[in-house]
Homo-oligomer: A and B are copies of this chain.
Amino acid sequence: MTEMKLKAPFEARLSALRAELARRGLDGFVVPRADEHQGEMVAARAERLAWLTGFTGSAGQAVVLRAEAAIFVDGRYTLQVGLQVDTRLFAPLHLIDSPPGDWIAEHLAGGRLGYDPWLHTEDQVAQLKRNCAKAGSEAVACEDNPLDAVWGDQPDQPLAPVIAHPLEYSGKTSSDKRHEVGAKITEAGAAAAVLTLPDSLAWLLNVRGGDVPRTPLPLSFGILHADGRFAWFIDARKLDGGADGALGAHLGNEVNVRPPWDLGPALDALSGRKVLVDAATAAAWVFDRLRAAGADILRGDDPCLLPKACKNDVEIAGAKAAHVRDGASLTRFLAWLSVAAPSGGVTELAAARRLRSFREENPEFRDLSFDTISGSGPNGAIVHYRADAASDRTLGAGELFLLDSGAQYPDGTTDVTRTVAIDRPSDEMRDRFTRVLKGHIALATARFPVGSTGSQLDVLARLPLWQAGLDYDHGTGHGVGSFLGVHEGPQRISKLPNRVALQPGMIVSNEPGYYKTGAYGIRIENLVTVVESPARAGDERPMLEFETLTLAPIDRSLIEVALMNEAELDWLDAYHARVRAQLAPHLDGAALAWLDEATAAISR
């Protein structure tokens, strides 16, 4: 009965939305889990899918028709959707196996389906229109979102203060960045680029903010002209003292702060000009407006993506400092855990809180970089697990504990996973852990020619698992920002095709894993940065390699030494020696003693 009560508000919300749609002459409406920037992290105001359905996953979409409604989620969320959503109201469907297009074509014959052009890319709208056409229906852009009209207590747009990201962290002035990116816009034959990705804007302007959780982003839009001038569409209340305040000096006189509602007229003013827009991420609204204004649209990648991904020397130095700090906090936690867990009193949530409190001791700590994944035993096998009061379990003896966490510091963003054995692990656990570690080392030590992509390298991390008929169903590495998103592109280490070559300064994760459903999960994740590989006698090609940034012991009790070759053991010992050398100055007492033991060379 409690459950029924909990679900009750969703019935009323759905009814209210349907009434609003009827009032507007619409037969349906699409509610994606998306904001105006197609960001991974969205503000509370943009959590429309969660408000309407109860589903809180990071991807999904509902379609509401007059008499029926459905929610579409991917394989990660098929369990979760059943727990969170009243499936009498919303039929739960698989985003890939039963795509919304097919469902719309079947259930909406000859009607008008509304969508918010701010919440879909142009390609998504084109797909929607094709699907509606198949059903003899019409997809209609709504000028304002009908769901917002019935969401009485919808939060306002966030107004977190924008702060300067100074040169000591950014390593390059906004002016230099704007002129360099401007030159790329000229090269592409365009006069200006419309920027809609908040992390591109934060990088370009050397600012940070707090409009979304876990990523220090201000939400805003911008137009970068080829000559480096920049029009920034942002609520001036977020700027310290307004556009003329302290931040104004940081921005300089080529950045013109304008209110958000000026974006439309500014797009209109691009009439007849060639304008670069990233079709993968810009809202359909932007395309509609530019097209109506008679601009010549050039579809291409956001020109900030690649320079943002290639960190400069100052950013890399910052990342290294952040990783020493973060590694010391994680080591304090692991030392504490080694005593606390075997006595049986530590739960997943308590462990995550404790780790956070160690990190918070650093004055530079700003936030976590994502919600900690703290999974013991079978919960560790759920790749996107987030512990809550209902799922929370005590770390038990003979179990594995998987802990994936990270933090935001002004000089860098961290993301690290360690898997530790609580008491004695089984032989199978040690076999699996060692294979994951061998894959991790193969990637960490890879040497590859300039021009190689992460897609080419992905297999190195999987091979030791493949040899035993095992694998994992996620990518091997994602890009990481500099005091920005913990997930950023355009590079990626994945079996999926990716044409972006790895380049010096890029930061990516190295995180192979293994998951045994109902039993345990293993993942070993370090961040690495791409560096030029020192030339060796006989080299004929310029080569690259990775330098590992993350510093934290890897649980030696989980290593089956007989499965490791000499080179792998050498790497591990050298890594541990470096961890010890870099972290010891920041530790003392029991934590230091634990570090010494945890990083001792493997006996062979």
Taking Cβ atoms with an 8 Å cutoff, the residues of A that contact B are 446-449, 452-453, 455-460, 463, 466-471, 495, 497-499, 533, 535-536, 538-541, 543
Q: Which residue of chain B has its CB nearest to the CB of A498?
A: B497
With beta carbons under 8 angstroms apart, the residue of B457, B469, B497, B543 that contacts A536 is B469
With beta carbons under 8 angstroms apart, the residue of B455, B457, B466 that contacts A447 is B466
With beta carbons under 8 angstroms apart, the residue of B463, B467, B541 that contacts A470 is B541
Are A455 and B538 in contact (CB-based, < 8 A)? no
Are A495 and B456 in contact (CB-based, < 8 A)? yes
- The distance from the CB of A564 to the nearest CB of chain B, in whole angstroms, is 14
- The distance from the CB of A289 to the nearest CB of chain B, in whole angstroms, is 26
Q: Which residue of chain B has its CB nearest to the CB of A494?
A: B456
Q: Which residue of chain B has its CB nearest to the CB of A460?
A: B459
Contacts of A538 in B (CB 8 A): 468-470
With beta carbons under 8 angstroms apart, the residue of B448, B471, B498, B543 that contacts A541 is B471
Are B469 and A541 in contact (CB-based, < 8 A)? yes
Q: How far does the alpha carbon of A449 sit from the alpha carbon of B468 in the complex, in Å? A: 10
As for how many copies of this chain the complex holds, the number is 2
- The distance from the CB of A562 to the nearest CB of chain B, in whole angstroms, is 15
Q: How far does the alpha carbon of A543 sit from the alpha carbon of B468 in the complex, in Å? A: 9
With beta carbons under 8 angstroms apart, the residue of B456, B470, B499, B539 that contacts A458 is B456
19 contacts between A and B (CB under 8 A): A446-B466, A447-B469, A448-B466, A449-B466, A455-B455, A455-B456, A456-B459, A456-B495, A459-B459, A459-B460, A460-B463, A468-B536, A468-B538, A468-B539, A469-B533, A469-B536, A469-B540, A469-B541, A471-B540
Interface of chain A, main secondary structure? loop
Contacts of A540 in B (CB 8 A): 469-471
Contacts of A539 in B (CB 8 A): 468-470
Contacts of A543 in B (CB 8 A): 466, 469
**A447, A469, A471, A539, most chain B CB atoms within 10 A:** A469
Contacts of A466 in B (CB 8 A): 446-449, 543
Q: How far does the alpha carbon of A447 sit from the alpha carbon of B460 in the complex, in Å? A: 13
Q: Take A456-B495, A460-B459 as given contacts and tell me if A467 and B449 are in contact as well, using a CB distance cutoff of 8 Å.
A: no
With beta carbons under 8 angstroms apart, the residue of B452, B497, B533, B541 that contacts A499 is B497
Q: How far does the alpha carbon of A456 sit from the alpha carbon of B494 in the complex, in Å? A: 9
**Extra pairs beyond A460-B463, A470-B539 (11, CB < 8 Å):** A448-B466, A455-B455, A457-B459, A466-B543, A468-B539, A469-B535, A469-B539, A469-B543, A470-B540, A470-B541, A497-B497
Contacts of A453 in B (CB 8 A): 495
Q: How far does the alpha carbon of A10 sit from the alpha carbon of B463 in the complex, in Å? A: 55
Q: How far does the alpha carbon of A558 sit from the alpha carbon of B497 in the complex, in Å? A: 36
- The distance from the CB of A402 to the nearest CB of chain B, in whole angstroms, is 18
- The distance from the CB of A449 to the nearest CB of chain B, in whole angstroms, is 5
- The distance from the CB of A18 to the nearest CB of chain B, in whole angstroms, is 34
- The distance from the CB of A116 to the nearest CB of chain B, in whole angstroms, is 32
With beta carbons under 8 angstroms apart, the residue of B449, B458, B536 that contacts A471 is B449
Q: How far does the alpha carbon of A452 sit from the alpha carbon of B470 in the complex, in Å? A: 13
Contacts of A495 in B (CB 8 A): 452-453, 456
Contacts of A446 in B (CB 8 A): 463, 466
Q: How far does the alpha carbon of A496 sit from the alpha carbon of B452 in the complex, in Å? A: 10
- The distance from the CB of A435 to the nearest CB of chain B, in whole angstroms, is 11
Contacts of A499 in B (CB 8 A): 497
Contacts of A498 in B (CB 8 A): 497
Q: How far does the alpha carbon of A499 sit from the alpha carbon of B496 in the complex, in Å? A: 8
Q: How far does the alpha carbon of A467 sit from the alpha carbon of B544 in the complex, in Å? A: 11
- The distance from the CB of A436 to the nearest CB of chain B, in whole angstroms, is 14
Q: How far does the alpha carbon of A453 sit from the alpha carbon of B455 in the complex, in Å? A: 11
- The distance from the CB of A540 to the nearest CB of chain B, in whole angstroms, is 5
- The distance from the CB of A336 to the nearest CB of chain B, in whole angstroms, is 34
Contacts of A533 in B (CB 8 A): 469
Q: Which residue of chain B has its CB nearest to the CB of A449?
A: B471
Are A447 and B467 in contact (CB-based, < 8 A)? yes
- The distance from the CB of A443 to the nearest CB of chain B, in whole angstroms, is 11
- Per CB-CB distance, the 10 closest pairs between chain A and chain B, nearest first, are A469-B539, A497-B497, A456-B459, A449-B471, A469-B543, A447-B466, A456-B495, A470-B540, A471-B541, A448-B466
Q: Which residue of chain B has its CB nearest to the CB of A545?
A: B466
- The distance from the CB of A135 to the nearest CB of chain B, in whole angstroms, is 16
Are A455 and B536 in contact (CB-based, < 8 A)? no
Contacts of A452 in B (CB 8 A): 495
Q: How far does the alpha carbon of A470 sit from the alpha carbon of B468 in the complex, in Å? A: 30
Contacts of A448 in B (CB 8 A): 466
Q: How far does the alpha carbon of A535 sit from the alpha carbon of B471 in the complex, in Å? A: 15
Q: How far does the alpha carbon of A431 sit from the alpha carbon of B362 in the complex, in Å? A: 52
- The distance from the CB of A434 to the nearest CB of chain B, in whole angstroms, is 13
- The distance from the CB of A472 to the nearest CB of chain B, in whole angstroms, is 10
Q: Which residue of chain B has its CB nearest to the CB of A442?
A: B463
Contacts of A497 in B (CB 8 A): 455, 497-499
Q: How far does the alpha carbon of A470 sit from the alpha carbon of B542 in the complex, in Å? A: 9
Contacts of A535 in B (CB 8 A): 469
Q: Which residue of chain B has its CB nearest to the CB of A432?
A: B538
Contacts of A467 in B (CB 8 A): 447
Q: Which residue of chain B has its CB nearest to the CB of A539?
A: B469
Q: How far does the alpha carbon of A468 sit from the alpha carbon of B539 in the complex, in Å? A: 6
Contacts of A447 in B (CB 8 A): 466-467, 469
Q: How far does the alpha carbon of A282 sit from the alpha carbon of B393 in the complex, in Å? A: 61
Q: How far does the alpha carbon of A94 sit from the alpha carbon of B497 in the complex, in Å? A: 27
- The distance from the CB of A1 to the nearest CB of chain B, in whole angstroms, is 41
Q: Which residue of chain B has its CB nearest to the CB of A452?
A: B495
Contacts of A449 in B (CB 8 A): 466, 471
Q: Which residue of chain B has its CB nearest to the CB of A453?
A: B495
